[in-house]
Amino acid sequence: MNEDTDRIERQIQLMAPRSRVWQALIQPKAFGEWFGVVLQGEAFVEGELARGRITIPGYEHMKFEFLVVCIEPERRFGFRWHPHAVDPTKNYDDEPTTLVMFELEDASRGTLLRVVESGFDAIPVERRAEAFRMNSHGWEEQMENIQRHVATH
């Protein structure tokens, strides 16, 4: 784990083939199942927004949105979003985004999944520390969520 103020990095070894982990990342329905969102559309497309709503208890009123920036089959999937954008009265559109990048590698018994979220130093100072703290904890939970997902699908 490498962390400073600008980036969060998490990784997990999943007892699943790379193709199964890739499908959990790149198929909107599967992504939503483990991530806690319901997404519109049948596929993620580079350069296009993915939209939906959060299904995590306490956050169901929140919209969910990211811009797909990278799809390299069974290697990398990346998007940009507004981290911890949970205040329904605030418009985050003028704020910088962070980059979330998932990377997959073969491992001795499955797949190594790494997620790096970077760009926190550009987030407005009044919400930077809280966004970093919440997403740092969130990625720990999401690694456990995808682990459960690929083990049962």
Residue 144, token pair as written in the block = 């456990």
pTM of the model: 0.94
The per-residue pLDDT for 87 is 87
The per-residue pLDDT for 1 is 42
Q: How many residues does the chain have?
A: 153
The per-residue pLDDT for 2 is 45
| Per-residue pLDDT tens digits of the chain, which is 153 residues long | 445 889 999 999 999 999 999 999 999 999 999 999 999 999 999 999 999 999 999 888 888 999 999 999 999 999 999 999 988 889 999 999 999 999 999 998 899 999 999 999 999 999 999 999 999 999 999 999 999 999 998
The per-residue pLDDT for 3 is 54
Q: Return the amino acid letter for 145.
A: N
Angstrom distance (rounded) from CA 113 to CA 123: 26
List, in order of start, the domains of the chain with CATH numbers. 7-152 (3.30.530.20)
Q: How many CB atoms lie within 10 A of CB 47?
A: 8
Q: Is 113 exposed, middle or buried (0-12, 13-18, 19+ CB in 10 A)?
A: buried
